[in-house]
Amino acid sequence: MSETASPLIAVDRLAVSFGDPARPLAAVRQVSFTLAPGGTLGIVGESGSGKSMTARALIGLLPESARVSGTVAFDGRDLLANRERDWEAVRGRQIGMVFQEPMTALNPAHRIGDQIAEGLIHHHLLDRRAARAEALRLIERVGIARGRERIDAYPHELSGGQRQRVMIAMALACKPSLLIADEPTSALDVTIQAQIVELLSELRAEYGLALIVISHDLGVIADLTERTLILYGGRVMEEGGTSALFRAPAHPYTRGLLAARPGRHKAKGEHLDAIPGNVPAIADFPPGCPFFGRCTDGTERCRLQVPPPVAVGDSLARCWFPQGQASGGQA
Amino acid sequence: MTSAARRNPALILGLVLSAVIIAIALISLVWTPHDPMKMAIVERLRPPGGSHPLGTDQFGRDVASLLMRGAANSLVIGFIAVGAGLVAGVGIGTLAAARAGTIVDDIVMRTVDFAFAFPAVLTAIMLIELIGPGTGDAILAIAVFNVPVFARLSRASALSVWATDYAAAARVSGKSRLEITLQHVIPNIAGVIVVQASVQFGLAILAEAGLSYLGVGTQPPNPSWGRMLNDAQTFLKVQPLLAVFPGLAIALTVLAFNSLGDGLNRLVDPKQRDAGR
Amino acid sequence: MAGFLARRFLGFVATLLATAIIVFVALEILPGDPAAVMLGVTATPETIAALRTDLGLDQPAVLRFFLWLKGLATADLGESYAYRVPVAGLIGERLAVTLPLTLMAMGLSTAIGIPIGTYAASKAGKLADRLAMGLAELVLSIPNFWFGILFVLLFAVTLNWLPAGGFPGWEVGFGPAFAALLLPAVALALPQAAIIARLTRSSVLEALAEDWVLTARSKGLSRRATLYRHVLRNALVPVVTILGLQFSYLIAGTILIENVFSLPGLGRLIFQAIGQHDIIVVKDLVVLFAGLVVAVNFAVDLLYGIIDPRLKRERRR
């Protein structure tokens, strides 16, 4: 455990569900983690793993129909107890967010400079003129050439990579202490992906940001984060130091993910061929381990009982039959 | 039934209201409380009550009877006009779709766009002037106004049918465009067309009332709601209720068919819950 | 942008020309000799023939068409058969009623429809939304001339607040003239307001589902601020489209409403001109109406570019 005594954010048994309260559809179940100021965390999962819902819960932007429980302590305050007004003071100001789709995440009718400056003005950090100057500085900082012209451009006049840079500038404008990047590179070309990863890495150091990167791309996670959570079916499958976890995965799901990893030059898309079957619909997960059914080692116990976390090396795996466990007596 | 009503209240409201109105119109053909044409000057401008539940007009005719027979006139005009507009419009639209991308398509759709942008009442009044006022002209004018609506809608819907695999398969198997249009396109677009027809029917009632109000639609002594409103305006100070009943009749009828259209739309396409118009 | 403007202008002229041809041909086959109508039943064939020569009706149709076009282009619209005054002057006089009436109705319907539609969308599915949309449905079922009659009944006959009809002319002062146009404008505007409200609602709902709404919220903007600063501007593009189409409805609506309120406007003029076989007035007015409709749509197209920058670029190409 590398967390310090006072974490920036401490998530405890976060759960998000939808639908009929009597028969809820759980999108996120019992997710817990902590992150120190300036620390980094990767959250890995396929679509439907609950990773985006986790991110949106952290910034209070879940769909209206969602029910959420657990605690998200940020700087010692439970965000989940926030009223809407409190959230508005947190969003953008203390927690910034970069979304996946730069093509649709920017308002097409507003100039990019205005969109970057908007948060600064809204949080009363700067007046209009100073906010514009800061927007220009940010545009140049995130690596958009000819910032003076580009500040008045509309999103459609920029490339995908440039738009993602604008998104990053926007999320960082108010100097938040935590940045959540939800699939920051997934919609981009491979060469641009590397640039964006590099940029995030630089800015993290420069701003002293804590960073949560959500991705299905293990390369991005490896480049940007110290610790990683592997999410499947809304549950944490395995967690640990990123490099250790990737070097010696204990959970069959993590092993599957790593085996499916096609190197850095894979085409876009989240389908993982090395793991048989598809992610089931939320309602179809078994009562026990969500990976049961796609796991090659599944037993009746896996189907019925949720496995407790087991320490394997430096990682914690939630598996009845983790690989590399010292005792090995369970099999 | 109750759950259906909760899921689609517009459909239930539309069905019930339009059924009642159609029933009244049908009854009026064989029975009305009084002869709607019979004038009785001594009975003129009576308030509602007694043997005249809705009072009498300036000629002593029974308002309730006039309204009932007026319903029949309105519905017949609307039905024929929308029907004619539908047949012509769907014909034009499916033809354009079958020849999509050709000069035929281009010419047809440009003409339709032009007709669409042109104020419909103006077309109506010009047409009526060409052939003299009367029921036939009201029907023709309203039909003409309906053609571009159905042409546009059926072309757009038909194009999506032409893009399907089974249309392509039919083409490959050597079926003619006409055969494909009749066997595949028309059955597939029928739902959308019926929904639109219901809405257009409401509009036709409105248009007929407007034309009759101007004196160029249904001609006296045939009762018509629009004409009754025009007459009532003269006696607004004496008998204001005369201006209320025919308007209510028009509004309820239009509401009935609009709701029916909305309800059918929900039935045909459940996703289209928030359709603009 | 210049190329786009030029193309649109050509389309504008082509539409007008097409209208002119259609109207001319349609009225050419109109039964009834205007000269005979003007002179009445007592006219002799000789006097009718003399008047026909006088009016230029004895010339070939093609020649008369081009003479008429030439007149249109030079704002010489000919002389009314019925009133024996220049049509241009007649139209100018009547336009002083119809144009303010239409613009007032357009302004009113937008001012009522957009806020109601936006509010309904922000309360989607709730009681306020259902009430607003139910009201819109009801208003759409009511003919605008009945609104007119009911307004007269309430505000003129019963309450005696506003005139029941007629128009005193702008020369008596803004107040009385405005008062005379107020009820007709509201009657014209209400159904259009209902259409705009429904369209705004669905358009706002669609925009609210966009990704960038979440982005705006993630900056700390409240629901309300997001709605007004981000959503509305995007949502109004389709609403502006309908404004162009709406003008055509309003022009048509004036024919009815001007009759309800006995307003000496263009709608009443064309209606009377048709009744009097005043063909030249009819021809000129139809082309004028078509021109107005096309011109408004042209203006609406330009407005898009301001609202939606993406469209502007497409046109620059």
Subunits with 3+ C-beta pairs closer than 8 A to B: C
Q: How far is C186 from chain B (nearest CA, A)?
A: 17
Question: Are A and C touching by the rule of 3+ CB pairs within 8 Å?
Answer: yes
Q: How far apart are CA B121 and CA B141, in angstroms?
A: 8
Domain limits, chain C: 95-308
Question: Are B and C touching by the rule of 3+ CB pairs within 8 Å?
Answer: yes
Integer CA distances (angstroms), C279 to A146, B269, C252, in order = 64, 48, 19
Which residues of B are less than 8 Å from C117 in CB distance? none
- Collect all residues from C whose CB is shorter than 8 A from any CB in A: 210-212, 214-223, 225, 229-230, 233-234, 307-310, 313
Assess if residue B260 is contained within a domain.
Answer: yes
Q: How far apart are CA C212 and CA C221, in angstroms?
A: 12
Its pTM stands at 0.83
Q: How far is C119 from chain A (nearest CA, A)?
A: 18
What homologous superfamily does CATH list for C95-308? Answer: MetI-like (1.10.3720.10)
Assess if residue B31 is contained within a domain.
Answer: no
Q: Tell me what the mean pLDDT of segment B78-102 comes to.
A: 92
Nearest CB partner across the interface for A156, out of C215, C307, C313: C313
Nearest CB partner across the interface for C310, out of A90, A108, A173: A108
Contact: B126, C157; criterion CB under 8 Å? no
Residue in B17, B129, B144, B248 to test binding to C, most C beta-carbons within 10 Å: B129
Which residues of C are less than 8 Å from B118 in CB distance? 19, 248, 290, 293
The per-residue pLDDT for A270 is: 47
The per-residue pLDDT for A150 is: 92
Which residues of C are less than 8 Å from A123 in CB distance? 220
Q: How far is C66 from chain B (nearest CA, A)?
A: 22
Q: How far is C100 from chain B (nearest CA, A)?
A: 18
Compute the radius of gyration of chain B from its Cα atoms: 22
Q: How far is B202 from chain C (nearest CA, A)?
A: 8
Which residues of C are less than 8 Å from B232 in CB distance? 149
Assess if residue B77 is contained within a domain.
Answer: yes
Residue B110, domain extent: 73-223+230-271
Assess if residue B101 is contained within a domain.
Answer: yes
Amino acid at C191: P
The per-residue pLDDT for B274 is: 40
Assess if residue B157 is contained within a domain.
Answer: yes
Residue B8 pLDDT greater than 90, yes or no = no
Amino acid at B160: S
The per-residue pLDDT for B271 is: 53
Range list of H helices, chain B:
2-7, 9-30, 63-98, 103-117, 120-131, 135-162, 165-172, 177-180, 186-214, 225-234, 245-268
Assess if residue B16 is contained within a domain.
Answer: no
Cβ neighbourhood burial of B271 (10 Å; 0-12, 13-18, 19+): exposed
Which of A291-305, B75-89, B179-193 has the lowest average pLDDT? Answer: A291-305
| Low-confidence residues in chain C, pLDDT < 70 | 1-5, 8, 29-34, 37-38, 40-41, 304-317
* DSSP code for B244: T
Chain pair A-C, CB pairs under 8 angstroms: 81
The per-residue pLDDT for B90 is: 95
Contact: C218, A99; criterion CB under 8 Å? yes
Q: How far apart are CA A112 and CA A147, in angstroms?
A: 11
Residue in C146, C153, C279, C298 to test binding to B, most B beta-carbons within 10 Å: C146
Number of domains, chain B? 1
Assess if residue B96 is contained within a domain.
Answer: yes
Q: How far apart are CA B256 and CA A64, in angstroms?
A: 35
Contact: A89, C220; criterion CB under 8 Å? yes
Q: Closest by alpha carbon to B129, among C77, C265, C80, C273? A: C273
> What percentage of chain C exceeds 90 in pLDDT?
33
The per-residue pLDDT for C314 is: 42
Contact: C26, B130; criterion CB under 8 Å? yes
Domain at B216, CATH number? 1.10.3720.10
Nearest CB partner across the interface for C220, out of A93, A108, A167: A93
Nearest CB partner across the interface for A123, out of C220, C222, C310: C220
The per-residue pLDDT for A93 is: 93
Contact: A156, C212; criterion CB under 8 Å? no
Biggest distance spanned by C-alpha atoms of chain C: 86
Which of B208-217, B242-251, C270-279 has the lowest average pLDDT? Answer: C270-279
Q: At what angle do helices C279-307 and C232-260 cross, to 10 degrees?
A: 160
Q: Tell me what the mean pLDDT of segment B223-227 comes to.
A: 90
What are C185-220's pLDDT values in tens digits? 999 999 999 999 999 999 999 999 889 999 999 999
What are C108-151's pLDDT values in tens digits? 999 999 999 999 999 988 999 999 999 999 999 999 999 999 99
Kindly give the confidence (pLDDT) of every residue in chain A, 331 residues in length, as a single tens digit, with 9 standing for 90 and above. Answer: 444 568 899 999 999 998 888 888 889 999 999 999 999 999 998 888 888 899 999 999 998 889 999 999 998 899 999 998 999 999 999 999 998 888 889 998 899 999 999 999 999 889 999 999 999 999 999 999 999 999 999 998 999 899 999 999 999 999 999 999 999 988 888 889 999 999 999 999 999 999 999 998 888 999 999 999 999 988 999 999 999 888 888 888 888 888 876 654 444 444 555 677 777 887 788 888 888 878 877 788 888 888 888 888 888 888 888 876 544 434 3
